[in-house]
Each structure stands twice: as C-alpha cells, then as structure tokens.
Structure 1
Amino acid sequence: MDEQLVFPIVEILLRKLQFLHKQNVPLGRWCVDITELEKLETILSSFRAVLLDAEKQQLHNNDVRGWLKKLKDACHDAEDTLDELEIEALHNRQLKMDQSRSITRKVRDFISCSSSLRFMIDSSQQIKEIRERLGGVEDDFSKFSFKDRVHHLHDINGNVPKKRAIITHSSFVVASDVFERDGDKENIINFLTQNDNSDISDNLDVHGNIIYISGLSGIGKTTLAKLVYNDKRIDETFDIKMWVCCPQKYLEKEIIIDMIYSVTGRIENNMEKDQLLQVLHNILNKKKYFLVVDEFFNPIFFSINWTKFTGLLSGGAKESKIIIITAWERRLSSINRLSFGSSLTLFMKYAFKKGKEKNLYLIKIGEEIAAKCAGCPLVLKVLGSIHYFSTDEDDWKYVRDNIKSEKETETEPEAISILKLGYDLLPSHLKQCFIYCSVFPKDHGFNNITLIQFWMAHGLLQSDDENEEPESIGMRYINELRWRCLFQDFEQNFDFITFKMHHLVYCLARKIADDVDERLVMDSGKQYRHISLKYVDDVKKPLVGSTMTRSILFFEMISSSQSLIISCISKHPNLRVLDFRDSDIEVLPESIGKLKHLRYLNLTRNIKIKRLPKSIFMLRILETLLLGGCKVLEELPGDIRNLVNLRMLVFSSKQRRLPENGIGCLTSLRRLGISSCYHLENLFEDIGRLQALRTLIIEDCPKLVCLPPGAKDLSSLENMMFSDRETSAKCYLKMDMPVLQRLKPHLQMLCIDGLLEFNEWPQWLLQCSANTLQWLAIKNCPNMEGLPSEPLQILKSLEVLEILNCPKFSSFPEDMHGLTTMRELKVRDCSDLSKRCKRDIGEDWPKINHIPRIELDGKDDPESKLGKDIMRLERLLFILWSGSCLIKVAAS
C-alpha cells in the first residue's frame, strides 16, 4: 500500500511560517510579499484540520491516497523554499547582532546585499507558485468528506513528562510476560549444567556443545534465551557469560567488543583489533564460559567464518557451552507457538494495562484478535500495546476484520502484515518517526541522543508547548514507541539510552518506507529521500543525484570516501543529514558550505582528517556537529562561533588550549563532549556563557587538571561525566577544584570514570545534587574508598548506583537502606564489596535488600525481595482479573 503521511510535513511548514513572523525581518522591503505568506499559512491551516482524518480514510480510498500524494509533493517543495527564507532571516539577525565586525567584513556584507536581494525576489516568486499549487490541491478538497480531528501531543497520561526516566538493564525479563516456556527452559538449563546429557539432548537441537534455538521471528526465541541466561544455576555453573548480537556481515571487531562488554561492562571502541583480542584472551584464560549468539539470520554466510569465530574463543575451557538463536529452520525447533489461552492473556495484559477501563465489548473484540494471531508473542504485545491507546471500537474492529485467518502469523510476511494494522492506528507524528528508523541498518543499536538529533534535523519533533525543548520531545517520542513495544532492550549508560527494534518491527518500518519512497534501494535507479548504506559492497555504482534527497548515511569505512563525499555534496544540495563516520577522509571539501539546509554532520572517527574548511562555518542552521575520535584534527577554528544554532558538539583535537570567543559563543549549545584531546591543558575561559548547556562530557584529556572559573556559571547543567577510558592515559583531573565548590546546577546524572585523584566524596557534589541526583556511577577509581559519611538521605532521589572496579571501596554506609528510591545497584570488580553484598550472607545485605535489581560482578540477582514480590503480585492480580473478564464475556 502506497500510504502517504502529510500531517507532520504541514506541521513543519506552519512552524517555519510562525518563525519567520517572529524574526521581525522586514520581508516586505526585501520583496517577499507578506500577503503571500499569510495566504500560504491559511491554506496549510485548513489542510491541518482534516489531515488526520484524510490519512485514516486513505486506508480504504485510493482517491484520498492520490490527493495526499499531490499535497505531500507540494509540501516538500514548499519546505525547501521556507527553509531558505529561515536561513536568510537567521543570517540577517546575526549581522545585526555582530557589532564587532571589521570594516572589510562590513564592506563584504554590503556587497552581498545584491545577492540577497536577488534571492528574495526568486523566493517571492517561488512562494507564489507554491501557494498557487497548493490552492489547486485545495480545489479538490470538496470531493471528500473529511472531518476535523483535534491533534494533541502528550504522553500516556495526557501530559508532558518533566522528570527524566532512568532505564534499567535490558536483560531482565518480566516473568508475567512469559508463557509456556518452563519446559523449554528446564531442558536447556539441564543440558548446560549437567555432565551427562545423553537423554536431555534428544529433546534439543544440539551439535556438540552448541544448542540451537530456532523458530519464526517474534515467537520468543530471545526471551527464552534471556530466561536461561539470567537463571542463577547458569551463574553457579559457568565462570563467565557473554551475549553477542551477530551482524548480517561477519564483523570480527564488533563481535569481540560485544563479548568484552558482556563481561566488563565497558565498550572498548577506541582499541585496535589486536588490543581487543588480547583483552578477550585475558578474560577467557581457560575459564568455563556460556555464550549466547543472537540474531543469527545468515547461517550460510556466517558458516564460512565459523572457524574465525570459534578461534576467538580458543582461550576458554572445553566444557564451555554456546546457544545460537536463529530463524533458520533446523531439524528440530526448540520453541513452539503459544496456545490460545496464553495468547489471549498476553494480549489483554498489554491492551488493558495501567487501569484502563475494561470495556466488555472491546474485550470481546480483543479475544477475536488474539485468536487470529495466536502463538506469536511479539505480535500480541505490539497489537495489545497499540490498542491500549485507543477506545474507539472502529479501530479495534479494523484490526480484527483485516486479519485474514487464524494461521496468519505462520510466515514472516504474514506477521508483518498484521503488525501493519497496528501501525495504522499510530498517531501521525509517531508514524513518521517510526518510518525514519528504517534509514538505519537492520541490526543497528540505537541510542536516544543521535536518534533524537536525527529526527530533529528533519523537523519531526512537535509539541503543544512551545517552550518544550526538542530533546525532551524526542525522548517522549522514544518512550511512546517503547510503550507500544516498537522499541525494546533498553539499557542506560550515563544519559545514553541504547535500544533496538525487533527484526519483525524493523522489517515493517522498512516495508512502509519503501512503499512511500522514503529510503534507498541501490539498484532501483530511483530517487529517494534517504540513502543509507552499511557495507562497502553496497556502493556498486555512483549515487543518483537528486534535490529530493534529505539524508545520506554510511555505517562502515568506505575506502574511496574522498571522491564519494565530494559526489554526495555536489549531487544532493538539499541534505539535512550527512553521516560519514569511520571513513578515511583526509580533506573535507570546501563545497560542504553549499549544503545550506544541513542540520546534522557526523564525521566521528575520521582518523585522517586534519583541518576543517572555513566554509563549514557557513552552515548557519547546523544543529549537530560530531567530530569525536578525529584524533589528528589540529584545531577547532575560532569561526566556530558562527554556528549559532548548534545544539550538540562533540570533538577531538590536538590543541593545548581552547580560545575565548569560540565555543563560548554557541549559546544554543545543549550538549558538549570533549574527547581524546591528549594535549589539552585549558578549556575556554568564557564557558560560563553556555547558559543552555545541559550535558558536559570530558573524556581522555589527561593533561586537563581543572575547569576554568566560568564553569561555576553553568546554571542549566544537569549531567556531567569525567572519564579516562584509555588505560594508557593517566587522568589527574581534580575533583576538589575551587570552581566546582561554586557550581550552581542541580545535577541529575554524574559519572566519574578512571580518575586517579578521586579518593573521597567532594562537598560540592552534595551541594549541587541534593534532592536531584538520580543516576551515579563511580568506575575505575583505584583510590575511592566509599560513599560520604554524612547522612545519605541528602541523595533521596537516587535511583541507580554503579560501583565498578574500585578495589578500595569496601562497604556501604549504615544508612544505605534510607535510599528508598533506589531501583538498581551494580557492583563489579570490587572484591570486598561484592562479598559483603551477597544475598543473605553478606554483611551489607541488610542495607541493600530493598533494591529491586542488584547485579554483582555481571550476574543479576532476580530474586531481590521487592522485585520478586512485585512480579508475583502482578502476575497473581492479572490472572485473577483476566479470569473474571472472560467469565463476564461468556455470561454476556
């Protein structure tokens, strides 16, 4: 179905028109007819009122779908024109504000007025043509009976969440979500933990020390593996356990990083392959390991590299075991479909969660939906979660009536077709964001920071509250998609939240995107709005140039990237996003300055690039600039101050000091990351001008010993990380520096990683985080001995505490039990502390037994009292409730 989404684009256009009105730019004098803009706004507002109904009607009406296609094409052209007007307005405002310009620059600006005048005349003509074009589309309006639908943007409770949500570890499985897997789980655990497996292996798909869990996508293979992985009998049997997501293409380095992370909790992106192999060898060192290989979708290709893969594990004990999760059909499937009873229970659990009114008629429809897609847990969860947000009987009937038969989920395409019915019920703003996720590779690990910046670059973030920050809107969208089970496997590390899309859900997003020409199919010869390539082999021919292309993203080093990036820039002038990470660019071309619509530029880990062209500072509406890992970059030029719209900056450089009137002029900056600056001794003195800064990250800057005095004025700062991730660099950043004593912010998240000087709890931390600190991590601090001696109740908002590799940290204070908001405690590589925290027998166990989730040395304690009691109560109440509902339905 060639479905069209237009509402989000119209929202973007209306916001741009409102912005132009607020700029106080004399557009009339510059030959842009104000009345044309007002007429355009009137037409778009009339469309906005009925678009939600039109998008719903297109599911059954081809004429409506065609009308929306015409409107969508016209709106995209209007977006480019208004975007250019917005850029010109920002430039004029900047010229007025810049009173320090030299005579030469003022003369140059005067000369440029003639080109600006020409631009305004052309823009005026384009706006008139677009208005007339949209007027023609409006003439067809009367053919359809569209209803006005009020559009509100809010969360599940009808309001905008203000408090940050702290995410717990993703490997936890909620027991009440799992049905009919006890037998499978016990068979697998018995095989893994017993020496004589002759009888057990008859019921499993076993080859040597490998168990295959196979079956259809979405049937619960990974859930079953997680149940096994988290069982305490596994922890008692194996020395270490690892979880690896297998990419479509065999990427050895990525696999090694996953293995190391499973054991140490550290992502070693900065190491070379040989270094990683040595770390893995030291971890295995004849130990008995348990390994899960997930997302094993291409067994034929991967089998060619099987010898390489097993070679990575050669340092482990021969008694080690492996589980491989695959959709590949083998001789015996280890997992079966759910029964109707379990399917109904699972669907109802998600469709009526959080006290939703129990409409008996909806329950009856839900029973029929569950019967038609019985057996596939993922489909049941997604449909149930999406139906939770609707009490419209027509929505429920639409899904029920369009599932063709009770055997609809027996193949992957059929399961995707059912998920598409749930997608049809999503609000328009979430549909667009969901589709844009397909631009990323299938096995991509998302994180909230870059995905939100990506959505922001395309103008997808909307709010009823004009004061709400785009970053907050984006996080709300992520949560809304999570509540609908379209995102999964959430895990938090500092303010980075990682998550994934299930294979079936990703296939759904990709199918819809392909239908509406939103992403690239390389061999089609068509023009697309987004070009996304993961492997070098995908670049089989030159990219087709197009003014309609909005994104180009590469996810692996491209050997010929110098010529390729020149081609990308010259052929795609309207780009909003250019992601050229991990490439071998030596010189960024001056033509980059011609991408005047560009909002997101990612050059992360371009290890050959030495300089930035001056033209990059002509990108006046650039919002995200990522230069982390560009270790030979000589400097950030002072002209960076011209990027006044920049909200996120991450960089590496060889500078000794960062000058004033550079980064300090970026008053829109929300996130600043300074990484791998090995020579940096001083930050910019005017850092205090960054009044909007929310997050400050300083990593691997060994010669930086203090912050400048201006840091005390960072009044909006909420998240701070000081980190030395590279063991070869000794960081001596002082935690008791005077400037920190005068910090004004109210910290919510703090990470201190690898600082030799951090040996006691500084007073400033208590002052600026009292009643606000939610997430705290102390890692790799060899001299840190413990939490502060004064009452811990001052940290009454603390939810997550991580103590990793702090050997002198030996015990928790007596009043630890007073931290009643704690939800997660993680302790690794602190031998004395780990012993004291052991369940029932540890001296510190009474201080922490109120915490729902506790992880000691990489092993979860799913039996924590509060968490166990809550899950038992939840399951009991739901069984009682669902049973009473079925009785009522039967009676009716």
Structure 2
Amino acid sequence: MKHLRYLDLSGNPIKRIPNWIVGLSNLETLHLTGCYGLMELPRDIKKMINLRHLILKDCWGLSGMPRGIGELKGVRTLNRFVLRESNCLWRGGSAGLGELGTLKELRGELEIRNLRHVVSESNVGTPLKDKQHLHELILIWKGGEDANAVDEDDIIKSMEVLQPHSNLKRLTVCYYRGVRFASWFSSLINIVDLRLADCKRCHHLPPLDHLPFLKKLDLHGLGKLECILLSENESSNSMSDEMMRISFFPSLEYLRINSCPVLKGWWRAHTHNTASSSSSSTENLSLPSFPSLSTLTIKDCPNLTSMPLYPNAERIELWRSSWKIVDSLFVRGASDITHDVGVDVSSSSSSHHPSKLIHLSLGGIEDLASLPEEICNLNSLQHLEISDCFNFSSLPEGIRGLPSLNTLRIWCCPVLSERCKKETGEDWFKIAHIPHIGIN
C-alpha cells in the first residue's frame, strides 16, 4: 500500500485514525468527510510529506490538530482547522494558529473552530493574510466564554490577527464577542457573501456599502447591534444622484436581518453617535436606494424603523418587525421612516414602489391593522401572505387592482379571516377574483 495516493474513509464511525497511516508516504488525498465521531488525526501526520488534500468536512467531533501539521507545506485542501480546548490533553501536543500560517498553498474553503478571545500565541502574526487562493473563510469562536472578563483590546486583537487576503469571496463569523469588528472588514474589496451570526456584543457594523461585489449580506443574532454604519464620502455633497446610486451597495441582491432586537437603522459613519438625539446633523444627507436588491428578509427586529428603500425587490418577508417598514414599501410616511438616517425623500414617488415585487410575506406584526391603498402599484405581485397579525382588520380596496396576484394566504389573523369568508365576508368581494386563496 505504500504507493497509495488516494484514500477515502468517508462516513466511517472511527474515533481515531491509526498512526500507521502516516507510513503511506505517497498519499496525496485523505478523504474523511462525514466521520462524525472522529476526535483525533494521526499525531505524526507531519511525516505525510506528499499530502495535498486533507478533507475534514462534517468531522464535528474533531477536538484539535496535531502539532507539526504546519510542516505539510504542500497541503492545498484543509477545510477544517480546530484549535484544541484548554482542558483537552493531547498526546504529542496540538497545533495553534501559527502553524496554520505556514501552510502557504491553502486554497478553497477553510473553517477555523474554537477561536479564543485572547490570542495566547506570542508570534502568531497574520496567518491568513498571504493566502491569496483562499476564497471562503469561516471563523467560529468558542461558545460559552465570558467576554466581559476579557479586555476589549484583546478581543479585537483576536480578530485582527485573522485578516484574510483581499481575494476572499465568502466570510462567515460566528460567536465573536467584540463590541466592534476588526478594521480589515471594510477592505474586503472582493467579498461576495458575508454572514455574521450570534455576535451578541456588537454595537454597530463597519461601513460595507462601498464593497463593489457584495451580493449577499446575512445578519443573525446580533443582540446589541444598534445601527449599520455607512461610508462617509467627503465629496458626497457634490456627487450626482447617479454616482451615489452606483456606489451604494452596487451588487447587493440578498439581505437578511434576523433577531437583531435593538437595531434601529442605518447611519452615516460620522453621525451615529448623535443620530438618536439630534436630527439636524442628518437632515441634509442623502441616501440612495439599494439598486440591485431582489430579496429582503427582516425577522424579529421590532425597533428597525429606518433603512434605505429597495425599489427592485422581487421577494420580501417581514416577520415580527415594525409596521413602519411595511409602510416604506409604499413610500407612505417615508419621511418618518427615513428621517433618522437623513434620507432625502423629497423626490419620493411611485418610482420608489417595488414594481418588480412578486412575493410579499408579512407575519407577526402586531400593530399592523391594514395595508395602504398604494398596494395597487405592485403590478407584479403574485403571492401575498399575511399571518399572525391579530390586529389586521381589513384589506385595502387597492387589492382589487393587482393584475398578477394569483395566491393569497391568510393564517392566524382572526379578524381578517372572518372578513374574508367566502361569499359572506365583508372583504370577500375584494379577493374573489384571486385564483388561489387559503384562509386558516
């Protein structure tokens, strides 16, 4: 077997790889996908000098990497790197971030787990910064740490040292406990997909609106996030509306904001400290709409009342959010909705209606009693769903003027359901023309 180049042990219920496997000196690929119970890799793995691909997808039980793994200079695929737990005893020791830095040929996807909020290695450097072929990075901090007991500068440093190469396309950050994110966030000029999850102490995000290729932004469980900062361009007052439109989230197609209970809105970078107490500092600013946004999901964000408009959206889901966000769909009362971020709404007109909107789902919006008559401007709307809106009392007359609407779903809206009863309900005549109606 000494000439073996490819070994696939995927899906095996093994806990440890026997150390004799390091004798396969010509092995180039070791495939361990789905070895859920795998806890350790061979402690002498550094002897596998020809190893190019170590595939550890879904190896959830892995508790660390053997010391010396950084000597495998030719490794190109290492999709999981686990830092050992502080109370874990390893035979032969375990590798730290410093060894990850010596793997110069890494490419594709890399997930780093069990990151700590204090960098214990004195010479860790920036182990990811020179990895130009790394396109996806997943950073997962160790859960359960008491970040309040750690100096904030140390927490920030734990992220600063992880600066990736600017070629990075996808970034996920989970369980980070810093109040702010690292300074390198705004320099990810090639980022396409950004996901931040359960970063519970973060107060605001760095400016991201200038990133030219960002298509997907997913924010989940940012419990203390108060605002999303926007770039402050010194020449913004002299920029034409068209130039501002082109430079504002130019490629963003998907935006999801979930479980951010104190998030209020979007601010220019220099105004976020005073926005809540003074409107004069923002009244002359102008904020363009999202030019490319097609999918918007907002869930469990009851205080989010101000954000840019989204005239090209095709799918919108709003759950347990403020009714003001619903109103912004129709630019009715938009001056109230956007005042906090200084949006110039003097030119608001029917052109701001999401005329391409196909799917609209509203749920759990307690203070929503109806929809505005301007709903008739949503000429492309095909699917309308309203659920768990207990105070929703009637449908607008304008719903009769929706030429494309073919599906209406009403769930757990007792007053509205009664009014929409077939033949007998007071609002039945408004919806009788819709081909597919479901009422519970």
Please classify the TM superposition score into its range, dividing by the shorter chain length: 0.5 to 0.7
Residues 706 and 584 (structure 1), Cα distance of their counterparts in 2 relative to 1, 3 Å cut? same
Q: Who is 1:310 aligned against? A: none
Residues 593 and 715 (structure 1), Cα distance of their counterparts in 2 relative to 1, 3 Å cut? same
1:606-621 to 2 correspondence within 5 Å? 606=113, 609-610=116-117, 614-621=126-133
Does structure 1 conserve the Cα–Cα contact (< 8 Å) formed by 2:172 and 2:194?
yes
Q: Who is 1:772 aligned against? A: 356
Note if 1:693 corresponds to 2:214: yes
State the distance in 2 between where 1:735 and 1:836 align. Answer: 38
TM-superposed deviation, 1:628:
5.8
Q: Who is 1:20 aligned against? A: none
- Which letter does structure 2 place at the counterpart of 1:720? L
Using structure 1 for the length normalisation, give the TM-score. Answer: 0.32
Does structure 1 conserve the Cα–Cα contact (< 8 Å) formed by 2:257 and 2:297?
yes
TM-superposed deviation, 1:690:
0.7
Q: Who is 1:68 aligned against? A: none
Note if 1:651 corresponds to 2:173: yes
- Which letter does structure 1 place at the counterpart of 2:79? L
Q: Who is 2:335 aligned against? A: none
Residues 776 and 742 (structure 1), Cα distance of their counterparts in 2 relative to 1, 3 Å cut? same
Structure 1, unpaired ranges of 5+? 1-515, 858-892
Equivalent residue in structure 2 for 1:753, among 277, 299, 303: 299
- Which letter does structure 2 place at the counterpart of 1:557? W
Q: Who is 1:563 aligned against? A: 65
Residues 569 and 769 (structure 1), Cα distance of their counterparts in 2 relative to 1, 3 Å cut? farther
Does structure 2 conserve the Cα–Cα contact (< 8 Å) formed by 1:731 and 1:754?
no
Residues 704 and 539 (structure 1), Cα distance of their counterparts in 2 relative to 1, 3 Å cut? closer
Residues 703 and 829 (structure 1), Cα distance of their counterparts in 2 relative to 1, 3 Å cut? farther
Does structure 2 conserve the Cα–Cα contact (< 8 Å) formed by 1:827 and 1:855?
yes
1:277-676 to 2 correspondence within 5 Å? 519-521=8-10, 527=27, 529=29, 531-537=31-37, 542=42, 545=48, 547=50, 549-550=52-53, 552-555=55-58, 557-558=60-61, 561-563=63-65, 573-576=74-77, 578-579=79-80, 588-595=96-103, 596-603=105-112, 606=113, 609-610=116-117, 614-627=126-139, 634-635=155-156, 637-638=159-160, 642-652=164-174, 653-658=176-181, 660=183, 662-676=184-198
Residues 695 and 639 (structure 1), Cα distance of their counterparts in 2 relative to 1, 3 Å cut? same
Does structure 2 conserve the Cα–Cα contact (< 8 Å) formed by 1:828 and 1:856?
yes
State the distance in 1 between where 2:81 and 2:423 align. Answer: 52
State the distance in 2 between where 1:532 and 1:714 align. Answer: 39
Does structure 2 conserve the Cα–Cα contact (< 8 Å) formed by 1:719 and 1:750?
yes
Q: Work out which of the two has the higher radius of gyration on C-alpha atoms and give 1 or 2.
A: 1
Does structure 2 conserve the Cα–Cα contact (< 8 Å) formed by 1:670 and 1:694?
yes
TM-superposed deviation, 1:618:
2.8
Note if 1:814 corresponds to 2:337: no
Does structure 1 conserve the Cα–Cα contact (< 8 Å) formed by 2:68 and 2:99?
no
Q: Counterpart of 1:689 in 2: which secondary structure?
A: coil
Does structure 1 conserve the Cα–Cα contact (< 8 Å) formed by 2:370 and 2:393?
yes
TM-superposed deviation, 1:620:
2.2
Q: Who is 2:91 aligned against? A: none
Does structure 1 conserve the Cα–Cα contact (< 8 Å) formed by 2:180 and 2:204?
yes
Q: Counterpart of 1:698 in 2: which secondary structure?
A: strand
Does structure 1 conserve the Cα–Cα contact (< 8 Å) formed by 2:409 and 2:438?
yes
Q: Render the CA deviation track for 1:672-713: whole Å, top value 9, x for unaligned.
A: 2222222222221x4232122122222222332322233982
State the distance in 2 between where 1:611 and 1:588 align. Answer: 13
TM-superposed deviation, 1:665:
0.9
TM-superposed deviation, 1:644:
0.8
Note if 1:783 corresponds to 2:318: no
State the distance in 2 between where 1:622 and 1:656 align. Answer: 27
- Which letter does structure 1 place at the counterpart of 2:397? E
State the distance in 2 between where 1:848 and 1:792 align. Answer: 14
Does structure 1 conserve the Cα–Cα contact (< 8 Å) formed by 2:65 and 2:81?
no
Which of the pair is proportionally richer in strand?
2
1:142-157 to 2 correspondence within 5 Å? none
State the distance in 2 between where 1:666 and 1:629 align. Answer: 20
Note if 1:796 corresponds to 2:379: yes
TM-superposed deviation, 1:750:
0.9
Q: Counterpart of 1:651 in 2: which secondary structure?
A: strand
Q: Who is 1:492 aligned against? A: none
Does structure 2 conserve the Cα–Cα contact (< 8 Å) formed by 1:772 and 1:798?
yes
TM-superposed deviation, 1:520:
3.4
Q: Who is 2:249 aligned against? A: 714
State the distance in 2 between where 1:572 and 1:825 align. Answer: 59
Note if 1:743 corresponds to 2:289: yes
Residues 536 and 707 (structure 1), Cα distance of their counterparts in 2 relative to 1, 3 Å cut? closer
Equivalent residue in structure 1 for 2:200, among 658, 678, 691: 678
- Which letter does structure 2 place at the counterpart of 1:782? E
State the distance in 2 between where 1:824 and 1:630 align. Answer: 45
- Which letter does structure 1 place at the counterpart of 2:138? L
TM-superposed deviation, 1:529:
3.9
State the distance in 1 between where 2:30 and 2:417 align. Answer: 49
Q: Render the CA deviation track for 1:552-605: whole Å, top value 9, x for unaligned.
A: 2342531x51135x5766558433351469x975685322223333221234xx
- Which letter does structure 2 place at the counterpart of 1:620? Q
State the distance in 2 between where 1:630 and 1:811 align. Answer: 49
Equivalent residue in structure 1 for 2:328, among 763, 767, 776: 763
Q: Counterpart of 1:616 in 2: which secondary structure?
A: coil
Note if 1:704 corresponds to 2:253: no
State the distance in 1 between where 2:380 and 2:389 align. Answer: 23
Q: Render the CA deviation track for 1:402-446: whole Å, top value 9, x for unaligned.
A: xxxxxxxxxxxxxxxxxxxxxxxxxxxxxxxxxxxxxxxxxxxxx
- Which letter does structure 1 place at the counterpart of 2:65? S
TM-superposed deviation, 1:666:
0.8
TM-superposed deviation, 1:656:
1.9
TM-superposed deviation, 1:625:
1.6
- Which letter does structure 1 place at the counterpart of 2:136? T
Does structure 2 conserve the Cα–Cα contact (< 8 Å) formed by 1:647 and 1:668?
yes
Q: Render the CA deviation track for 1:290-348: whole Å, top value 9, x for unaligned.
A: xxxxxxxxxxxxxxxxxxxxxxxxxxxxxxxxxxxxxxxxxxxxxxxxxxxxxxxxxxx
Does structure 2 conserve the Cα–Cα contact (< 8 Å) formed by 1:754 and 1:779?
no
- Which letter does structure 2 place at the counterpart of 1:791? E
Q: Who is 1:56 aligned against? A: none
1:227-306 to 2 correspondence within 5 Å? none
Using structure 2 for the length normalisation, give the TM-score. Answer: 0.59
State the distance in 2 between where 1:822 and 1:518 align. Answer: 55
Does structure 2 conserve the Cα–Cα contact (< 8 Å) formed by 1:640 and 1:663?
no
- Which letter does structure 2 place at the counterpart of 1:552? I
Residues 815 and 534 (structure 1), Cα distance of their counterparts in 2 relative to 1, 3 Å cut? same
Residues 779 and 539 (structure 1), Cα distance of their counterparts in 2 relative to 1, 3 Å cut? same
Which of the pair is proportionally richer in helix?
1
Does structure 2 conserve the Cα–Cα contact (< 8 Å) formed by 1:756 and 1:783?
no
State the distance in 1 between where 2:353 and 2:30 align. Answer: 43
Residues 841 and 764 (structure 1), Cα distance of their counterparts in 2 relative to 1, 3 Å cut? closer
Q: Render the CA deviation track for 1:197-227: whole Å, top value 9, x for unaligned.
A: xxxxxxxxxxxxxxxxxxxxxxxxxxxxxxx
Q: Render the CA deviation track for 1:5-38: whole Å, top value 9, x for unaligned.
A: xxxxxxxxxxxxxxxxxxxxxxxxxxxxxxxxxx
State the distance in 2 between where 1:856 and 1:569 align. Answer: 60
State the distance in 1 between where 2:422 and 2:230 align. Answer: 46
Equivalent residue in structure 2 for 1:733, among 261, 264, 283: 264
Q: Render the CA deviation track for 1:264-287: whole Å, top value 9, x for unaligned.
A: xxxxxxxxxxxxxxxxxxxxxxxx
Does structure 2 conserve the Cα–Cα contact (< 8 Å) formed by 1:623 and 1:647?
yes
Q: Counterpart of 1:791 in 2: which secondary structure?
A: helix
- Which letter does structure 2 place at the counterpart of 1:670? V
Q: Counterpart of 2:399 in 1: which secondary structure?
A: helix
